[in-house]
Every structure is written in structure tokens, then in C-alpha cells.
A and B are shown apart, each in its own frame.
Chain A
Amino acid sequence: MKKIWILACNTVKESFRKKTTYIIVLFALIMIASSEFFAFLSSTEQYKMITDTSFAVIEFFGFLLAMFGSISAVSSEIEKRTIYTLLTKPITRTNFVLGKYLGMFFILLINFSIMAVFFVGLLHFKKIPMDSGTFKALFLIFVEILVIASISLSLATFTSDAFNIIASSFIYIIGHLTGYGRQIIGMTKNIAVKGLADMMYTILPNYQNFTIRDKVVVGIPIPWQYVIIVTGYGIMYIVIALLIGIYFFRTREI
């Protein structure tokens, strides 16, 4: 456990000293701030626009941070060949994967908090009413980001960066298009395509479950039970993804 912690700290240190994350976060903040250009709309419309856009921005940039962060956390060790030395120290390969993920957890927590605080501050400043729904929506976005990170990290243990980016983005898009996706599946006649698509939807995470911003914006209450169940759903995916990552990393030659 202590080894995992030491590896996590080093991952966080790397992320802060490399400064690429700052740029992504800064960009996100600019986008959130610029959502107030919708000022020409009536005030309730404007509220909705600002909150809705900001949620979307935080989620999308969270996705970018999670995907690129996890990929670089693993493959920078491999590309820079620091892994040769690291794996000859008394750590297991499982320690390595879990340490990297714990590090990503802290990196994402920090960056997500910056975006969330900025967003809440903006709402406060604009005197836009907030309720528990705002925070539930933010919390579930964070859970989604953690799921994305676990999947990208797991893929990074056995695939190339390019493939990883494609696969992670594909899962992200598919995971958000579940509604449309199922409609399209319903229309296809080809059984093979249908079977494959059905299977994909059963296996891959449904990121749409984490998206409650459309309801929150119009004031539909979200019960706590829903938040808890969906969090459990996310944790399940994280555990499975990490187990897969550990399995592949243990068989990987360095």
C-alpha cells in the first residue's frame, strides 16, 4: 500500500512539473468564463445557457485530462525507459498500475476542483441560483472522469498511444450516444451488426448515466439514490478496467 502511495506521489509530481495539464485547465476556464457571452438572452435562458455550457465544458475537458493524463502516466515511463529501473525495485507490476491510477485520481481531483470552484464562483457572481442538483451533476461528472481515466490507463498497459486515443474517444462517444445508438440498432436488419452493437452496449460503460445536467438545468430533482447507484456503477467499471490493466501489464515485456 505504501509503495502505491509513493508511485502515486511521483505521478502527481510529474504532472505538475510538466505543465501540460495547466494549459488544458486554463483553456477550460476561459471557455466557462466565455459562456456569459450569451448575455443577450433573457435572464432565465441565460442561466440555463451558462450552466449547461459549463457542465459540458467541464465534462469534456475532464475527458481530455483523464485520457491524455493516464496515457502519459504509463507511456512516459515506457518511452523514457524509466520503467527499466523502476521495475527492478521492490514493487510489483500491480503496485505500478494501482500507483499510477491513484496518482491520476489526485491529479484529476485537483484539476476538476479548480474547474468546479471556478464554475460555482461564476454562478455565485452572476447570482444564478444553485441547488443540490448542481453539485450532484458535478459529482457525477467527476465519477465519469474517473471511469474514463481507468479505461485509458488500462489500455495504456498494452496498446500504443494512437490506438488508445482512438479507442478511448470511441468509447467516450459511444457511451454518450446510447439513446441514438439503440435507435439505430433497432432499425438495422443485419443480425451480425445488431448482435455486435448490442454486445458493445452491454459491455461498454453508458456514460449517459452520469449526465444529469439536462435535468438539473431545468430544475428536475435528482434523488440521492440515483447518485449512489450510478456511483456504484462507475466504481464497478473502474475495478474491472484496472483488473484488465493489471492482467495485461503483468504479461508485458519491458
Chain B
Amino acid sequence: MAIIETKDLTKIYTIGRKRTVVGLDHLTLEIEEGELFGILGPNGSGKTTCLKLLLGTLFPTSGEAYIMGKTPYDVSMKKEVGFLPENPYYYEYLTGRELLIFYGKLFDMDKDALNEKIEELLNLVGLHNTQKLSLRHYSKGMLERIGLAASLINDPKILILDEPTTGLDPIGCRDTRNLLIQLKEMGKTILLSSHFLSEVERVCSRIAILHRGLLLALGRLDELMSKYKSSNLEDLFVKTINEYDEKIKSQGVAQ
């Protein structure tokens, strides 16, 4: 059974009284345990919408979403998940360390285990020296780093990361990439949304390309590349999007 699963997952946002915007359009996806899955797409294609639906902060217009066979509102499912939102914002009145303590406590972690984990994570994301600084004084990349640490606090089975490397310096990007590979080797399932194609190309086994809420391509990287006769992911990405846009355009003309 797939560890992350969506069935015809659809989200239509209502703006004001009448206007609607399609966020996600009948997405059906299965991600197996241990996969490092990349979800790609232009701005506004529905990546964040999809992740939010999986975690239950948004409610679907129709369709279903499951993580480990459980609905997005199941607290026991959330115990096994780590999530990093895009452009993470945290309590600016807390210090980096206090933030990790706060989240750790919500996972019922006992004090010793939590302290040990925090030491490990602060070293991992390179924030050991600034752990006593309040988050108000963190830079964008530092917030992204503490967010990554926070998403790992419960040693999750499943990691859901929304653009984890936006705002990171080149070293941070490389470290994150290596960390993702390491986590995958530890058997974790990772769902990653990203605009950094070269990075996705290096770490992900399977990808999905979304555009205007629709799933345009899904599969193993090498399979998709040969299907679209592309030599790299960027080429593949552009081809898929263009092909769709042209199809829509010609249909529009035909009508």
C-alpha cells in the first residue's frame, strides 16, 4: 500500500462570492514507502495546495488524501510526519532552541530525549551558535534552517518539505541535498516541492509535474526523460509545460 496517496484530489478556491480559482485538479498520486518524491511545477501550479490538503490545513473540494492510510485530520498520523512550510515563519519572540523545545513537547517527547535531539539537530543545520538568539533576529536562510530542524524534531517517518532550499546559501543547499539523501538511506519517505531542478534531478527517484492544478507528468526521472527525449530535467520541465500550453491554445483557436 502506498504511504502517501491522493485520489482525484481537487481544490477549488472561492474568492469573494462568485470567482473561483482552481488550486488542484483531480490529482491522483501514490508514493511508496522509502521514496524521495519530487513535486514540480511553475508558480501557482498547485504544489503548496497539494501539501496543505495532505496535512489537513485546507479541506478538499472533492477527492481523498491519505498518509499511512489515515486521513489528514488524524492526530496519530501527524506524529509520524515532519513538515516544513514554504517561507516558514515562526514565533519571533522565541529563541531557536525554545522553538524546538515547544514543538518537541507537542510530540510528547521527554526532556532528556528532547535535549539530545535538539543538540543533534542544531549541529546538523549549523545553528548551534545562534540557538539563544530570538527568531526575530534570524535571517531568511537561518529561519529556513531552523524550520528544517523543527520538521525533524520527532524523527518522522515521512517528511513533507515545501521548497526547503529557497533562501539558503550554496553551502546550505548542498548540505540540505546531502541530508535528504542521508534521510532517504535511513528509509524515510520524503515528499519535496522545489523549483531547483538540478537539485531535484540529483536526489529524486520519481517526480510529478503540475501545471494549473493538473498532473502533466508522473514517473521515474529516466523514463520521463526518454519519453520526452530530454537530456535534463529543465528541458523536460519546459517541454511538458509548453506542450500543454500549446494544446490548450490550439483547442482555443479551434473553438
Contact of B90 with A by CB under 8 A: yes
* Docked complex Cα distance between A87 and B105 (Å): 14
* Docked complex Cα distance between A81 and B83 (Å): 14
With A6-B105, A90-B76, A253-B58 known as contacts, the answer to whether A85 contacts B93 (CB < 8 A) is no
Contact of A18 with B by CB under 8 A: yes
Interface magnitude class on chain B: 20 to 34
| Contact assessment for A10 and B75 in the assembled complex, using a CB-CB cutoff below 8 Å | no
Chain B residues near A82 (CB, 8 Å)?
Answer: 89-91
| Contact assessment for B105 and A85 in the assembled complex, using a CB-CB cutoff below 8 Å | no
* Docked complex Cα distance between A197 and B42 (Å): 54
| Contact assessment for A81 and B106 in the assembled complex, using a CB-CB cutoff below 8 Å | no
With A81-B89, A90-B78, A90-B79 known as contacts, the answer to whether A10 contacts B102 (CB < 8 A) is yes
| Contact assessment for B57 and A88 in the assembled complex, using a CB-CB cutoff below 8 Å | yes
Contact of B112 with A by CB under 8 A: no
* Docked complex Cα distance between A17 and B57 (Å): 28
With A89-B78, A90-B75 known as contacts, the answer to whether A17 contacts B93 (CB < 8 A) is yes
With A90-B75, A90-B79 known as contacts, the answer to whether A14 contacts B85 (CB < 8 A) is no
| Contact assessment for B106 and A85 in the assembled complex, using a CB-CB cutoff below 8 Å | no
With A13-B93, A253-B58 known as contacts, the answer to whether A85 contacts B78 (CB < 8 A) is no
Taking the closest CB of chain A, its distance from the CB of B107, in whole angstroms, is: 6
* Docked complex Cα distance between A80 and B52 (Å): 17
Contact of A215 with B by CB under 8 A: no
| Contact assessment for A254 and B106 in the assembled complex, using a CB-CB cutoff below 8 Å | no
Q: A6-B102, A84-B57 are in contact. List 10 more A-B contacts (CB 8 A).
A: A6-B106, A10-B102, A14-B91, A82-B89, A85-B85, A85-B88, A85-B103, A88-B81, A88-B83, A253-B59
Query: Can you list 5 A-B contacts (CB < 8 A)?
Result: A10-B91, A13-B94, A82-B90, A85-B103, A251-B59
Nearest 10 interchain pairs by C-beta: A17-B93, A88-B83, A81-B89, A254-B57, A90-B78, A84-B85, A89-B106, A90-B75, A88-B55, A90-B79
Interface residues of A (CB under 8 A from B): 2-3, 6, 10, 13-14, 17-18, 80-85, 87-92, 251, 253-254
